[in-house]
Structure 1
């Protein structure tokens, strides 16, 4: 869901940059020293997963795993995603530096929303699979909607591409939901303290 450089209007770029900066500052202030290693690991996972992407007009679809980052990192997902996007822009020219703020917001804000939506369910073993799948799938839905909104606010000509991005991400929602479900289940078995939940019996 990287938005390419040169397609967004200045107000959208500025707004995205400000929101990304605010989210990153809050994330850095709230991160605990014990969460630095999981944050670094998940930032790396995000970096690798979203390298494989399919271009769709001025945007693209790919694995993001933002729901997983949101569940584990909360506000720290902002700096984790920002670092991953920055490295992708510098080394592989995915997205770009001028759209770094907007791309960070379109992926990190949904991750944070899913954290607050599904976190309580994650603490109960019976609802944990639902929480994980919901966070994984809804984060992609929200990200595609934010990406479409950013494109539409920049130019009405991008409306068709914006709609295509939403449609193209529908199967990605299911895939991300399943990956998040199995990953959360694995984490609970091997290192539940990362999620602050009790280990599976």
Structure 2
């Protein structure tokens, strides 16, 4: 779901950068209002590295191949820190491996960053009362899986509205259908990963899980 350079029109790429910059500014502002803004930097650095490496783990799901994203996991564990973490991870993916692009860095952040924050709010909403293992696992699974499907939705909307193409409507519809179907198993896998991680942290270190 990373869009490479040279595909999107310039106004779209500039708009992606503007939205990304506004979101990063907002999140850094919220982080700086914490009693100790630097307390979660080590955790954010570790998960940024996991996000960076995850894109290199490809899962063959015929007729396509998808890769782990972990955006929902970052949203659940990092909260507002997920926004700069994902931006940094995307930058190094593009600069070191050509996974995505530098001109499309902002729009790729929109595709992955907003679903990560949605995952954060889904998880927090689910834990606004009882915080037992079952409830934690359920809402962590929903957060992890829905983050992927939201990214697919954003990516599909960009394909339809912003990517200039000479393909027919039938070919475009088929490509989108393949994209969605291929990412459904990935969404389930990421939901399971997020749920397992959240329940493990609930048992061994609840502060890490609920201190976001």
> When the two structures are superposed, what TM-score results if normalisation uses the length of structure 1?
0.88
Report the secondary structure of 2:111's partner residue.
helix
* Deviations, residues 112-167 of structure 1 (Å, cap 9, x unaligned): 01211221323611411111100010000000100111121113647343443222
For residues 61 and 18 of structure 1, the distance between their equivalents in structure 2, rounded to whole angstroms, comes to: 28
Residue matched to 1:18: 18
For residues 61 and 99 of structure 1, the distance between their equivalents in structure 2, rounded to whole angstroms, comes to: 19
Q: 1:167 aligns with which of 181, 184, 187?
A: 181
Residue matched to 2:57: 52
Q: 1:131 aligns with which of 117, 139, 147?
A: 139
Give the structure with higher Rg (CA): 2
Residue matched to 1:72: 77
For residues 64 and 162 of structure 1, the distance between their equivalents in structure 2, rounded to whole angstroms, comes to: 19
For residues 149 and 166 of structure 1, the distance between their equivalents in structure 2, rounded to whole angstroms, comes to: 12
For residues 61 and 151 of structure 1, the distance between their equivalents in structure 2, rounded to whole angstroms, comes to: 17
For residues 127 and 174 of structure 1, the distance between their equivalents in structure 2, rounded to whole angstroms, comes to: 17
Greater shift, 164-173 or 130-139, is seen at: 164-173
Displacement of 1:76 in angstroms is 1.8
For residues 92 and 21 of structure 1, the distance between their equivalents in structure 2, rounded to whole angstroms, comes to: 23
Question: In 2, are the aligned partners of 1:144 and 1:169 still within 8 Å (CA)?
Answer: yes
Q: Structure 1 segments of 4 or more deviating over 6 A?
A: none
Residue matched to 1:148: 156
Displacement of 1:54 in angstroms is 6.7
For residues 107 and 28 of structure 1, the distance between their equivalents in structure 2, rounded to whole angstroms, comes to: 18
Displacement of 1:77 in angstroms is 1.1
Residue matched to 2:201: 187
Q: 1:35 to 1:25 in 2, by over 3 A?
A: same
Displacement of 1:61 in angstroms is 2.8
Residue matched to 1:9: 9
Residue matched to 2:105: 100
Give the superposed CA RMSD: 2.2
For residues 177 and 10 of structure 2, the distance between their equivalents in structure 1, rounded to whole angstroms, comes to: 22
For residues 5 and 127 of structure 2, the distance between their equivalents in structure 1, rounded to whole angstroms, comes to: 37
Report the secondary structure of 1:185's partner residue.
helix
